[in-house]
């Protein structure tokens, strides 16, 4: 997890998490010294901190930034990254996610990546 993000309250609302996600994505997009697994761990921890709020979603720009970043890092990621990335994608509503996951089910050479993508597709249904 990224330093200082572990000090956030244990339950946040979508607006608070979106604000933190913008900060995380600023780091992810500009700092190549940060592990991609640390980024996915931090994003997933933010999602896990959400209180139950049916019908709420993150703002479109935050979702777009997260989804775009995951797409650019997918082929570099190890199994831990793919696991975290698919868990994050299950919690976003970006319309391109199902098609992206389906393409990974069909063509990713790594069996674990195909499995995680398939499970994510099923979980999103």
* Per-residue pLDDT tens over the stretch 77-117: 999 999 999 999 998 989 999 999 999 999 999 999 999 99
Q: What is the pTM (predicted TM-score) of this model?
A: 0.86
Please check the confidence at residue 50 and state whether its pLDDT lies above 80.
Answer: no
Spatial contact of 25 and 62, defined as CB atoms under 8 Å apart: yes
| Tokens, residue 104 | 């990974």
Q: 32 by DSSP, 3-state: which?
A: coil
Please check the confidence at residue 5 and state whether its pLDDT lies above 60.
Answer: no
DSSP 40-96: HHHHHHHHHTBPP-TT----HHHHHHHHHHHHHHGGG--HHHHHHHHHHHTT---TT
């Amino acid at each position: 997890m990224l330093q200082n993000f572990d000090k956030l309250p244990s339950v946040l609302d979508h607006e608070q998490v979106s604000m933190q996600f913008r900060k995380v994505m600023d780091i992810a997009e500009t700092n190549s010294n940060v592990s991609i697994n640390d980024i996915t761990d931090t994003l997933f921890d933010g999602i896990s901190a959400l209180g139950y709020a049916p019908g709420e979603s993150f703002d479109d720009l935050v979702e777009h930034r997260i989804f775009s970043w995951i797409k650019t890092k997918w082929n570099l990621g190890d199994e831990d990254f793919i696991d975290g990335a698919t868990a994050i994608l299950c919690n976003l509503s970006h319309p391109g996610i199902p098609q992206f996951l389906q393409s990974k089910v069909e063509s990713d050479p790594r069996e674990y990546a195909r499995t995680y993508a398939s499970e994510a597709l099923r979980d999103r249904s």
